[in-house]
Structure formats: structure tokens, C-alpha cells
Copies of this chain bind each other. A is one copy, B any other.
């Protein structure tokens, strides 16, 4: 009934735009006006606007209103699938451990080229080296403080201030990386048998966590462009007690989706209304190619959002330094950190802190995001040129990966085994779901330039796919 009303409103606004009554860049009537003119509740009007925003037809500007989007050059996006909204025990495919052993989660040619390091990373190692040389006897005789080094937490909180999140540096606790933060977040919010909502497709590291912690997963449909589908989440919330929702609102892996502002606000509202924890994986948050994206935590009103991140994707995977800001669960998180790993490396934290405060980190990010955007374009061109014409893929505005939907007949686990014979490693779609939904999807990373051997690998994969589009042996 209610759904019917909001859908009519969606259709009405869509027709206005199609008929060019409202043009790209035009401001839409306010929620108050829409609800008055169409005789629907404000809530219904908001639903309609979220739906239109999710579809990329309109966009919200904070505290101003809703605007008709500029027409974007269309590329075929992977289809959004709608998993069954029932809690399920997790069993992670063993293929993942095989990929981990090849250290190749984000590369199709593991360790094939010895690229030279960027000057920024050489500078980072200088900072860590300096911290090491300045180590006093005491650093070797005492463990790090429970929260981690203050100097680093100050730098982290200042980085977030630039992204519209104002937290005190004592609100952060240093961890061994983002995966460790997610692990702590789940341990403090859930117990075995509890239900946890995840985006579908989901980050496989999260699915593994849920498996090991014996938590049930509810996969919530997510759009390849706008992330978590709030209407689907609400259906799940109505039917099931959900203790936590793990979400990557900014450049989710595998799709690179970015949740629009209204959907983020709605997610926080749901958390308050249905009493669950939001675990925000912000690991790609600083890897935006153009605008600055505020973390979801900046909308947190009741300390329900647990922010998790690290420097692994933005700086170096060899730094085992992450952080967590766990709101109401912070004290328990610190205790669990102490018992699960006691402390972090002080000199490494000190080195990163001076690397950031000296401005090197900002300069590195400026450089690195430009490189990533360029590499995304390289990969997109290669796919358009060398892969079957009917593939669909995302073109993310940040992060390090895109999500490809292949022909329905392709089984990407078979493709994985086929490719591995030629030392090419792909990340098959099955890793991103426990329900076999993404059999014909793969994630490709643009963490490396698609040139030379890597371009050859992409062409080779295209050849395998072309052969199999005709005789479907994969």
C-alpha cells in the first residue's frame, strides 16, 4: 500500500524529467511541497526521493535539496541481484585460501614485476627508519599504550576533520589493521548465532570473519553504483533481529559503489530505530578521485557507528597499523585489543605520524589517486577493446577495483582454474557471496597499470571468454 504510493510518486517525477519539464540541474520541489501536492506522507515522499537517487536520476545536496542529475555517458552496469532475506550460516569457499596463498587478492599477475617504489613511500620508510634510530631503551622495554601512540591518533583525527568527522583523538584506538578492527567490532557487538547484515556482493574478508565467529549472515541487495539497498534492508529488519550491519559506504569492494547521502542518513536512522550497530569499513575512504567523501560515522547521532580503517590500501600493506572508533563499544574494544594482541609497534606509529604531519601523506594521496584514476581508465579501455561486447562493469569514482558481470553461462571458478594455468589470477564472484549468486562475476583491480604483461593477461582472459561465449565449456 505504502509502497504503491511511493512508486507512483517515483513514476510521476521520472515522467516529468523524461518530458524535459524538469531539466538536468533543476531543483526538485521540497519534501513538504511534494507530500502536500501528492497527498502523501513526508516519509513516502522521502522514499521516492531515495529510490530516484539510488537510480542516479536525482542527487541530494546537503541542506539545499534534490536536483536532477546531469546525463552521464551510459555504460552497462552489472545487474543488481536480490538475495533471499534469510539468515544463513557461512561456509567460505576454500578457493579463497588458495588466492591468499598466491598473495594476489588485488593483482592478476602476482609479484610479476618489480616496480620501483614511489618517492612518497621511500620517504615513509625514511620516517619509520628515523623513528627506529630515535628509539629509546624504553620503547623496547615497555609495550605501547592501550590506545596506541597519541601522536598518530592526533594525525588520524585531523585527517577525518577534513572529511567532516569531528572526533577526539582518544575516540580512536590503534589496531593491527582494518581486518583486526572489523574482527574487534564484531566480537563486541555480536555473539555466536546472531544475525549480521552485509551488502551483496560483500567483502570476502567479512564473510570469513562471520564464518569463524559463527555468525549468521543476511545478504542485502546492493546496487553496483549506489551500494546497500535500504528498501531491502528494511524488509530484513522487519523480519529478523539484526545485531550489526557491516557496510562499506565509500567505494565498496568489489563494486566500487558509493552510497548517496540520503541512503546513509536512512541507514543511521534504521540503526537507531531497530537498535543495531553499523560497522563502517572506511578503508577506501581516502581513495576518492575527485570530491572529498565524509564517512558515514559523521552522521552518527547515538554512537552506533563503529568506524574501521587502516593505511593498507592508501599507503602500504606492510604497515600493520589500523584504527577503530567504536563509539559506545570503545571500552570493550580496547580490552579485547589488549587480550587479542596486546600492543602495536610504537616506532612504526611514530614514523607514520611524522610522515602525515610533514604533509607527505597529503601529497602522496594527491599523487596516488591520480594514478589510480588513470589506471582505472586503462583497465576500462582494455576491457572495452579486448573483452566480449556484452560484458557489464562498474566505473568507480574511487577505490582500487571494479566489478564485472560476464555472460550468464560463464562459471568464473572454472575460469579461475583455466587462468591459473597461465599464471593469471582472477577473483571469482563466488567469493563475494555465500549463496552462489555471482557465479558469472569477477572483480578486477586497477591497483596496477594495465600495460605490458598485465595488458597481455587481460587480452588472454578476453580470448578465453570469447571462445567460451560460443561453446560455453567454462
- Give A contacts to B, CB under 8 Å: 97, 100-101, 103-107, 110-111, 114-118, 121, 125, 128-129, 132-133, 135-146, 176-177, 179-180, 183, 192, 205, 208-209, 212, 312, 315-320, 335-336, 338-348, 447-448
Q: Report the 7 A-B pairs with minimum CB-CB distance, sorted nearest first.
A: A140-B316, A115-B137, A179-B342, A176-B341, A125-B132, A180-B341, A117-B137
Given contacts A104-B142, A116-B137, A139-B316, 16 further A-B contacts (CB under 8 A): A101-B145, A105-B143, A107-B141, A115-B136, A117-B140, A129-B133, A132-B132, A140-B317, A176-B341, A176-B342, A179-B340, A179-B342, A183-B340, A320-B320, A320-B344, A341-B341
Residues of the B chain whose Cβ atoms lie less than 8 Å from the Cβ of A132? 125, 128-129, 132
Q: Least Cβ distance of A143 to chain B in Å? A: 5
Residues of the B chain whose Cβ atoms lie less than 8 Å from the Cβ of A336? 212
Residues of the B chain whose Cβ atoms lie less than 8 Å from the Cβ of A208? 335, 338-339
* Given A125-B132, A212-B335, CB of A141 within 8 Å of CB of B342: no
Residues of the B chain whose Cβ atoms lie less than 8 Å from the Cβ of A177? 341-343
**Contact in complex: A212, B339 (CB < 8 Å):** yes
Count this chain's copies in the assembly: 2
Q: B100, B143, B312: which contacts A103 (Cβ < 8 A)?
A: B143
Q: Least Cβ distance of A444 to chain B in Å? A: 15
* Given A179-B339, A183-B339, CB of A136 within 8 Å of CB of B114: yes
- Closest Cβ neighbor of A121 among chain B residues: B140
A348 to B125, CA, bound (A): 12
* Given A177-B343, A336-B212, CB of A317 within 8 Å of CB of B125: no
